[in-house]
Amino acid sequence: MQIETNTPIVKQKKTRNWKRWAIHLFPIPALLIFSIFIVYPLVAALSYSFYDWNGITRGAFVGLANFIDLFTLQPFSNMFWNAAKNNVLYFVVQMIVQNGIAFVLAFIIYKRIKGSEFLKVAYFLPRLLSVIVVGFLWKLILNPNFGALNVILGEFGMESLQKAWLGDPKTALMAIILVNCWFGIGFAMLIFLAGLQSIPKELVEAAKLDGANGANVITKIILPLMLPSIMIMTVLTFIQSFEAFELVYAMQGSQGEPYYSTDLLAVFFYRLAFGGSAAGDSTAVGLGSALAVVLFLFIATCTALLLKYMQKKQVEM
Amino acid sequence: MKGIGRIWLLSLMALMLIVSAACSNESGGSNSDNNDEDSVTLTIGSWRTEDSANYQKVIEAFNEKHPEIKVEFKPSKNTEYNTILNTSLQAGEGPDIIHLRPYAPGLELAKAGYVEPIDGLNGLDTFPEETLQASRGEDGKQYGVPLNLSTTQVFYNKAIFKEHGLEEPKTWDEFIAINEKLKSEGVTPLAFGTKEGWLLSLAHGIFGPAHWGGNDFVEKISKGETDFTSPEFVKSIQVMEDLKEYFPNNSEGLGMEDIRTLFFTGQAAMFPLGSWEIEVLREMNPDLELGFFPMPSAVGGEPTLTTWVDGSFGINANSEHKEEAKKFLEFLTTEEFGELFTTNFKMISAIPGVQSDNELVNDLSKAVSDYSTPYMMLVYFAGGNPSSKVTIETELQGMYIGEQDVDGVVKTLQENTEAWFEPFQ
């Protein structure tokens, strides 16, 4: 018996060794793609940010001068902090409005209220459109003289509320953020719904048997167990808010019009690096690269911290 | 084993895909066609995708004289043209013939050594000095053959003017009186909106010269003998503010398409904009009775019509076919091309004296030779970052939404320009 089975065992071992060795080869294509399309641009941007740029030609090595300029040289530093402030507002409003509403909607659907399947589709519908289409559509709706919103307000005798929504610096940024919320609610809702559905029913029933009321069930059972999906949505919203670009570009162009009230860091970066959309606008590749590096470091650090915090929370539970 | 084999195959395919993509990028991007040794193919880069059919006609006319040179017109989207061109030039590639953006941005490429100087090219002397300046580098060398002139002026709806018994204004006061009358009779006088910044410097280019009195001031300021704090210039900004009462409701939220719609649907009487709108307006509303007038002076001078050279053609310094490209550029200086251009493109050719079959274009062309004044912010102040042109746009926008006043606009513009414009330092 032993002699007979000896040979197969050796063969098996050989195969296993080969397999173990081969496993290290499999990530190569992925790594290759990752390095060409992600690592290389990052390193390139980093290297660009250390040089002086004369138009589109690279000048002398200037060390950290571009970074210092970004934070001190007028009018760039003003634009930088203004854009950063707008990004923070973008994040906060999205967290409260988009994720708040999405959570409520997910809960309604989870409770299987009549017509919830229809609601699920309806809420997710905007997500099917491309951001550019969404921007164009809302630009039409918000048009001060021909747009649906002002016409409807007029029909209901609320002329005093009619506004140049995207032309007034008081309303322009908020209008864009709310459009983004409208666009993002469906996705957030699906994440929350998945979180709700993964909560074991027995836990909720056991709590009810122990005499917990509805509010207690939500705060003591559902919310803590939903923490992973809440944290995921927070991280995603954070990243999305700080790299937001397409919607603003589609609705307001690359100058952050009117009067920089809708300027965001990514829009500011585009303007610096590629010269904006206005004819006769020049480029500042060095400053643009410096901004890209700062933005990357900020997003990466904050995301890492958030994820770490999330892991800790999960372990605690 | 079978599974591993399949994964290997897949990863191998992925690798090959990347490698082949990288390779084809290298060879496919080059501009010369070396397989065919007898004939040479020139490529033209441009942002005018809408003109492809028209350029085909130009190329056909060129080929009647030079059948041995194939020419391909390869435009890219307006807003992406600069990025595409810049990256391909940096990689030592790009089209043989480059459509240069007017003034500073186009010359930036020449300064970086990507454009071949073409001094002494046959036919360059066809053009007036100020037209050639649009593509002349700081080193005094010529880098491009000018293509067309753009103009800005006030268009008006003849039917509305007739209905309200109005005539083309001869003085600034008459112009204001027209606005007042239209406003009091319930018509929006000026189709204008301040949502898109570029419209603001464009309109300032129309109304401003009436207050600084035309070319003397422009010449002085371009040499640094006066600056933006001068009373003439401050007045030109003040006037922009004063005109706001003749704009449509909610003008701060209106962009290019909105104001064009207001004008061609007859909801507004006048439209301060550029010559390229003639063709668009005609398509939108063929019945529109379109007229224009040069801006009457407020200081007792001649009326003014703002002009600039809108793009010119240069040769890629890395091109392998510079001689052939020169032949094509020479063709662009001929009267034959000028006529072909005006007839098909419905724009004013940079070649003087060329007639169009479009009456309005002809009238404009004539007005250009009589009343021309440069679009100062584009021609002299498109440098800096953000450029002075962009600065005045943003600051005027700030003024219209109440976050900036006239003095603030002037102060910011002056400071911005001092930072890069040598005559001001």
Lowest mean pLDDT across A220-229, A268-277, B90-99: A268-277
pLDDT at residue B382 above 60? yes
Mean pLDDT of chain B: 86
Write out chain A residues lying below 8 Å of B11, CB-based: 25-26, 28-29
Chain-centroid distance, C-alpha B251 = 24
Percent of chain B with pLDDT over 70: 91
Does A195 contact B at CB distance below 8 Å? no
Q: Percentage of residues in chain A with pLDDT exceeding 70?
A: 90
pLDDT at B67 over 70: yes
Say if the Cβ atoms of A276 and B82 lie within 8 Å. no
Q: Is A73 on the interface with B (CB under 8 A)?
A: no
In this complex, the residue of A32, A36, A282 whose CB is nearest that of residue B383 is A282
> If you average pLDDT over residues A21-31, what whole number do you get?
86
HSE-CB of B320 using CA atoms within 13 angstroms: 11
Quote the DSSP letter at residue B33: -
What's the N-to-C CA distance of chain A in angstroms?
Answer: 52
Question: Which tens digit of pLDDT belongs to each residue from A76-110?
Answer: 888 899 999 999 999 999 999 999 999 999 988 88
What does A109-141 look like in DSSP terms, one character per residue? Answer: HHTT-TTHHHHHHHHHGGGGS-HHHHHHHHHHH
Give the DSSP per-residue string, A62-82: -TTHHHHHHHHSTTHHHHHHH
Of B195, B249, B383, Cβ closest to residue A257: B195
Per-residue pLDDT tens digits for B119-162: 888 888 888 888 888 888 888 889 999 998 889 999 999 999 99
Per-residue pLDDT at B21 exceeds 80: no
The verdict on a CB contact (< 8 Å) between A282 and B198 is no
* CB-CB contact of B328 with B62 (8 Å): yes
For A279-291, b/e burial (b = at least 16 CB within 10 A) is bbbbbbbbbbbbb
pLDDT digits (tens, 9 = 90+) for A251-288: 888 888 788 889 999 999 888 887 655 444 567 788 88
Give the closest residue to A263 by CA, choosing from B386, B264, B153, B67.
B386
Q: Is A57 on the interface with B (CB under 8 A)?
A: yes
Q: A276 to chain B: which residues are within 8 Å by CB? A: 390
Residue B52 clears pLDDT 60, i.e. is over it? yes
Mean pLDDT value across residues A38-55:
84
* A295 part of contact set with chain B, CB < 8 Å: no
Chain B partners within 8 Å of A77 (Cβ): none
State the nearest Cα–Cα gap between B132 and chain A, in angstroms: 18
> Phi, psi at residue B50, to the nearest 5°?
-70, -10
Q: Search chain B and give the residue with CA nearest A22.
A: B4
ipTM above threshold 0.90: no
Nearest one of B202, B199, B200, B195 to B254, comparing CA atoms: B195
Beta partners for residue B116, in sequence order: B315
Residue B30 pLDDT > 50, yes or no? Answer: no
Chain B nearest CA to A104, separation (Å): 34
pLDDT band per the 50, 70, 90 thresholds, residue B378: confident
Judge contact between A199 and A221, C-beta under 8 A.
Answer: yes
pLDDT of residue B26: 41
> Which residues of B are less than 8 Å from A283 in CB distance?
86, 385
What is the pLDDT confidence band of residue A7, given thresholds at 50, 70 and 90? Answer: low
Nearest-neighbour CA in chain A from B386: distance (Å): 7
Please report the pLDDT score of residue B103 as a whole number. Answer: 82
CB contact under 8 A, A55 and B387: no
Find out whether A242 and A300 touch, Cβ atoms under 8 Å: no
pLDDT of A163: 83
Minimum CA–CA partner of B13 in chain A: A29
Rounded (10°) angle between helices B388-400 and B197-207? 90
* pLDDT exceeds cutoff 50 at A1: no
Helices (H) and strands (E) in chain A, counts: 16, 2
* Facing B108 at nearest CB: one of A32, A55, A165: A55
